[in-house]
Amino acid sequence: MAGFARFLAVLRLFDDTANAWTVPAMSDALGVPASTVYRTVRDLVAGGFLEAAHESVYRLGPAFIEYDRLLRLTDPLVSAGRGALHDVVAQARTPCVALLSRLYNDQVMCVADEAARDTAFRPSYERGRPMPLTQGATSKVILAHVPTRQLNRLLGAPKERDNRDGALRRELADIRKRGFCATASEIDAGLAGIAAPVIVREAGVIASLSLVADDTQLDEAQRRRLILLVVSAASLVAEALRHALQPPILNDTRQRLVK
Amino acid sequence: MAGFARFLAVLRLFDDTANAWTVPAMSDALGVPASTVYRTVRDLVAGGFLEAAHESVYRLGPAFIEYDRLLRLTDPLVSAGRGALHDVVAQARTPCVALLSRLYNDQVMCVADEAARDTAFRPSYERGRPMPLTQGATSKVILAHVPTRQLNRLLGAPKERDNRDGALRRELADIRKRGFCATASEIDAGLAGIAAPVIVREAGVIASLSLVADDTQLDEAQRRRLILLVVSAASLVAEALRHALQPPILNDTRQRLVK
DNA sequence: TCAATATTCTCATTTTTTGAGAATTGGTTT
DNA sequence: AAACCAATTCTCAAAAAATGAGAATATTGA
């Protein structure tokens, strides 16, 4: 392993529990000489991807916070959808969390979330956390709209496509037809998920807007109301995206090409 | 330029206005052959730092959102301070924004912010935005507690240390003595900043907790009350840091060293 | 100040990256 | 369905950069 892979390998050492590393520890963990790791770390620090904390301990650096802000500010989906999330949690009139999630390379990730004022629970889904592809309303409604070829790639080798796979594909087709997906206790026990698709192919966006609420507090009428709320919010976001997104990208590219 | 610098150069192309790039455009802008940029971009996409949007346009990728969440969850300063921010905006009883900011390599950056319920304005300072080192209460209170050697490095070559430099150093010494810094209209016209230091040397943390409010709505009594609020909140955060931070780091490092 | 440890440096060797253009892919248009 | 166009990957020899072991040097805390 060398080149860019070395940098990735160092960054991948950091996770929820191991969030501070010394160079000798990295060297051990990666099986790479210390002098090489020192050089790699020096580059990463210079780029802001790591920072030297006290006592020769390194932590993730400010570049991630900075680029994350850039994404928040410039991602068309986030800017088109943030207002909708706010409206949805306000109009839900029940403790809940609204999420905007999207397919990103080959994982589903929440890119924006907002909780209603008095919401005690927090769903597993939250901004920046990769989510399972095939579980939860949020993900399934996305998967239901992935083009077939891409779906095949995501679901893995044909070998693994056994009986379960057929059932999933039927479920996805059904979701696509209905235009929404509602589940309960599929990710978090006791929580219900309601999701609707936000599809703007021209912009490469395959996303979902979803609502997570306490399942035990939902009667049938309530549920139907929330589904309507989510579906209409999602289509508003898609419409906003279609109208706001395309011109900027074209402008931008042209400017740069000319320059 | 080559190696890691190539990756940095590509990522640095992305900013507030240029948030979507085609490979030919990058190739032009960097003066590097397209085939090389294609390889670089492929690596960055594989690492999640870029994503292929529609129409051969690339945007910043999900890795930044993911690592940002990791930072939010594991940064001792953020976890020790988030609650304090919430308390401060609640107890301020006036529209305001509370910030937690820190020295990060050689820039000051806000790492957490919270606005009071009915706050109409938003200060320039916000999570993820690099801030000037020598302007604004938030930054100056941090600079006032940077060790001399490091301060010299930050302020630049001795040549540049002219008359202004002396004044700044006197001001910083004064801030250090008082234990807080209050300014008005130094960053945003009409807004006042009140900041207190959060210093935990054992943890390599040099940070500040600050409050931004509408300057025209502050009388002397109000201002004094807010200063007290900020100073005490900051010292609570420092105390929490001292007690919560150190053991985890040691454990962590040891685990990894053993493994 | 001194000792201990972290970090950088050195340099010959190995390994990767580079760049130009050809080949291929993927998606539209006719 | 074929042809077209642009985007992307591939090929290969030359050039550049990364590597690793240990020596040299900085930093830091007592």
Is residue A186 predicted with pLDDT exceeding 80? yes
Which of chain B's residues have a Cβ under 8 Å away from the Cβ of A19? 70, 74-75, 252
Q: Which domain holds residue A16?
A: 4-65
- For range A65-69, the mean pLDDT: 97
Protein-proximal positions, strand D, CB < 7 A: 6-11, 16-23, 28-29
Indicate the Cα dihedral angle A230, A233, A239, A245, nearest 10°.
-100
Q: What is the pLDDT of residue B62?
A: 93
C-alpha distance from A187 to closest chain B C-alpha (Å):
19
Distance of alpha carbon B8 from alpha carbon A42, whole angstroms: 13
Is residue A71 predicted with pLDDT exceeding 90? yes
Q: What is the pLDDT of residue A107?
A: 80
Q: What is the CATH number of the domain that holds A144?
A: 3.30.450.40
- For range B84-89, the mean pLDDT: 96
Both B46 and B107 in a single domain?
Answer: no
- Does residue B259 sit within a domain? no
Asked whether residue A204's C-beta has any atom of DNA/RNA strand C within 7 A, the reply is no
Both B142 and B51 in a single domain?
Answer: no
Q: What percent of chain A has pLDDT over 90?
A: 70
Helix (H, G, I), strand (E, B) or coil at B24: helix
Distance of alpha carbon A81 from alpha carbon B33, whole angstroms: 37
- Does residue A70 sit within a domain? no
Q: What is the pLDDT of residue A55?
A: 74
Q: What is the pLDDT of residue A9?
A: 95
Asked whether residue B217's C-beta has any atom of DNA/RNA strand D within 7 A, the reply is no
Band the pLDDT of B152: cuts 50, 70, 90: confident
Q: What percent of chain B has pLDDT over 90?
A: 70
Cβ distance B54 to A202 less than 8 Å, yes or no, reads: yes
Give residues 185 to 204 of B whose Cβ lies within 8 Å of A: 201-204
- For range A146-166, the mean pLDDT: 70
Q: What is the pLDDT of residue B161?
A: 53
Asked whether residue B2's C-beta has any atom of DNA/RNA strand D within 7 A, the reply is yes
Is residue B95 predicted with pLDDT exceeding 90? yes
Q: Over the stretch B207-250, which tens digit does the pLDDT of each residue have?
A: 999 999 999 989 999 999 999 999 999 999 999 988 875 444 33
Distance of alpha carbon B14 from alpha carbon B19, whole angstroms: 5
Band the pLDDT of B254: cuts 50, 70, 90: very low
Q: Which residues contact B69 (CB under 8 A, 6 or more apart)?
A: A126, A127, A128, A129
Q: What is the CATH number of the domain that holds A40?
A: 1.10.10.10
Is residue B259 predicted with pLDDT exceeding 50? no
Both B123 and B213 in a single domain?
Answer: yes
Look at phi and psi of residue A128 and say left if phi exceeds 0, alpha if psi is from -120 to 50, else beta.
left
- For range A10-39, the mean pLDDT: 94
The β-bridge partners of B51 are: B59
Distance of alpha carbon A101 from alpha carbon A187, whole angstroms: 15
Both B212 and B93 in a single domain?
Answer: yes
Q: What is the pLDDT of residue A252?
A: 39
Band the pLDDT of B104: cuts 50, 70, 90: confident
